Amino acid sequence: MSFAIHGVGVSSGIAIGHAHLVSHALLEVVHYQVPAELIDQEIARFDQAIQTVNQDLEAVRAQLPSRAPAELSAFISTHLMILNDHTLAEDPKKIIQSDRCNAEWAIKQQMEFIVEQFDQIEDEYLRERKHDVVQVVERIIKVLLGRPSQVPLLEQEKAIILVAHDISPADAIQFKQHQFAAFVTDVGGATSHTAILARSLNIPSIVALQRARTLIRDGELIIVDGTQGVVIVNPDKDALAEYKLRQEQWELEQQKLKRIKLNKAVTLDGTAIDLYANIEVPEDIVQVKASGAAGIGLYRTEFLFMNRREAPNEEEQFEAYRTVAEKMDGKPVTIRTLDLGADKEVNSDTERSCTNPALGLRAIRLCLAEPQMFHTQLRALLRATAFGNIQILIPMLSSITELRQTKLLIERAKQSLRTQKIAFSENVQIGGMIEIPAAALCAEAFAKELDFLSIGTNDLIQYSLAIDRTDDAVSHLYNPVHPAILQLIEMTIKAGLKLGKKVSVCGEMAGDAKLTRLLLGFGLRQFSMHPSHILSVKHQVLQSNLEKLKPAARKILGCQDSDKIEPLIQKMNL
């Protein structure tokens, strides 16, 4: 019988192949009592398993191909760190001793205790790190059960699709050498390591399918549509033919896209468009360079502050900002000041109790409330301006008063560097994020006092439509082409144009190729997005005639009926 399962597509494309179910060791753990005289032996068995996993992970790291994405090595280091932390390497031994239980059961109990603590973390990114702990424990249990390897034997001509409860980065590297066509998992979110890895491996992938591992049988034929987030199990003849066609088209398109990597992004009527990349950590530069991006339009510096107890000092921050600026060889690098708070808390200890963190002390509000922390970042940023083409971007501005306070603090940081005779660029450009509806409505006032504007559509949508961007229950209401959103975007672009200030979009909308023409029609000339989207957006730019887009964009802007907007956008893209 044919049926479909829906999840979250995290890497686009279509794969057709046979399911390989990855065993889920955690489900197979049994509990038994160990006689007192055999406890030492059980502990030794546990120690041996930890040692084997250590060796396995080290071996995987040593065998990484030189062109493997930088984050793969980082993922394995994280797993090694988790493995060797006393909470996993030592505490289960105490459980074996006190409860006289088998090693598998002890490590599983300890894992559940750790996972419970992770579940209480509000920050989505940190919360998802619990999957890393689970993945490491899975590995240990598999060794204890005597089944360390997950790599299946492949018949060369068959495309294999991995169906797993979860996949660890270390396993995925081994899988990669065996050329899997796709992978799908029961758990994970859009920012999970599995999702990040999927994007960097460039194979179609879907996470959060909930029960794929129970619904799909080993060897069954399945179709993975990573673009739509759908798995079709046992497709009939018609569905198979349809998806084979779509797959061929997709692959052809990807090949074609690669040909434009070195092309300048210029419209048919000769207007140059800036296509920039968003990054979270300096290591992302590798992918930025491979994408042919013209610069960095958004460096989210808050990631430097996460997963740690102490904030990075001025020197550490300076090194990170300088590295990015230098590696970009004079191309523009827009570095955003700290956007901590809401779904991006540093760690659970620093969480402030407030009813609605997204409306609380976040981003620039937090920086103004903690001027010393902000001063440290501003000094580091300003010092880095002497080493490249850096611009500073302020997140979450809601009023001009806030902007003026921020500029005073920037001036204070500059003055402290002048006094110490430390080099920086006096003319560093200062821009502001327009991501609160109030700021979009007053965009002209902001444009007057800033050098450039950058529209953060992710938050602009969240705040305009009153939809928590992290809440699954309302995600169906998250509509980037709601008439109100389009009006706020257009109004901001117009305000910038009027005052001769550059305006970019750096939220997810910038990387959605279906919206490129609409945004061009609104007058947008700068887009900043995940590097993997640059070529598809460039493709749209190369085929667009700005004069022809304007009337269609005007018509869409005048449309108040959400249901009519999608078809109008589709027509514009023909």
Residue 385, both tokens: 């301006």
Closest CA to 96 of 142, 144, 166, 39: 39
Per CB under 6 A, 54 contacts ligand PEP = no
Closest CA to 276 of 227, 200, 320, 328: 328
Binding span for ligand PEP by CB under 6 A among 31-39, 161-169, 424-432, 457-465: 457-465
The size of the chain, in residues, is 574
Q: What letter does residue 158 receive in the DSSP assignment?
A: S
Residue 320, both tokens: 């990170």
Burial class of 199 by CB neighbour count within 10 A (0 to 12, 13 to 18, 19+): buried
Contact 441, 488 (CB under 8 A): yes
Per CB under 5 A, 437 contacts Mg ion = no
Q: How far apart are the C-alpha atoms of 275 and 496, rounded to whole Å? A: 18
Phi, psi of 96 (to 5 degrees): -55, -45
92 binds, among ligand PEP, Mg ion, none (CB under 5 to 8 A by kind): none
Residue 421-440 contact track with ligand PEP, rule CB under 6 A, x = bound: --------------x-----
Q: How far apart are the C-alpha atoms of 333 and 364, rounded to whole Å? A: 20
Per CB under 5 A, 282 contacts Mg ion = no
Residue 178 annotated among the catalytic residues of the structure: no
Closest CA to 274 of 527, 508, 542, 533: 527
Closer to Mg ion by Cβ: residue 187 or 434: 434
Per CB under 6 A, 300 contacts ligand PEP = yes
Q: Which of 101, 367, 442, 506 is catalytic?
A: 506
Binding span for Mg ion by CB under 5 A among 14-22, 37-45, 230-238, 448-456: 448-456
Closest CA to 510 of 522, 498, 495, 500: 522
557 binds, among ligand PEP, Mg ion, none (CB under 5 to 8 A by kind): none
Handedness of CA 336, 341, 343, 349 (dihedral sign): positive
Residue 193 annotated among the catalytic residues of the structure: yes
Q: Count CA atoms closer than 13 A to 447's CA, side-chain side.
A: 21
Per CB under 6 A, 504 contacts ligand PEP = no
Listing from the earlier edge strand, what are the strands of the sheet with 221-225?
3-6, 230-233, 221-225, 14-21, 160-164, 182-185, 205-207, 8-11
Q: Which of 165, 193, 533, 539 is catalytic?
A: 193
506 binds, among ligand PEP, Mg ion, none (CB under 5 to 8 A by kind): ligand PEP
Q: How far apart are the C-alpha atoms of 79 and 83, rounded to whole Å? A: 6
300 binds, among Mg ion, ligand PEP, none (CB under 5 to 8 A by kind): ligand PEP
457 binds, among ligand PEP, Mg ion, none (CB under 5 to 8 A by kind): ligand PEP
Contact 311, 346 (CB under 8 A): yes
Considering only 87, 97, 416, 458, the residue that binds ligand PEP (CB under 6 A) is: 458
Closer to ligand PEP by Cβ: residue 136 or 340: 340
Least distance between ligand PEP and beta carbon 458 (Å):
3
> Which of the residues 468 through 497 are near ligand PEP (CB under 6 A)?
none
Per CB under 6 A, 506 contacts ligand PEP = yes
Longest Cα separation, the chain: 84
Closer to ligand PEP by Cβ: residue 13 or 456: 456
Closer to ligand PEP by Cβ: residue 207 or 439: 439
**Which residues share a beta bridge with 221?**
18
Per CB under 6 A, 339 contacts ligand PEP = yes
Closer to ligand PEP by Cβ: residue 118 or 303: 303
Closer to ligand PEP by Cβ: residue 60 or 506: 506
160 binds, among Mg ion, ligand PEP, none (CB under 5 to 8 A by kind): none
Question: Rule CB under 6 A: which residues touch ligand PEP?
Answer: 298, 300, 339, 435, 456-459, 506-507
Q: Which residues are catalytic?
A: 193, 506
User: Residue numbers of the site for Mg ion (CB under 5 A)?
Assistant: 435, 456, 459
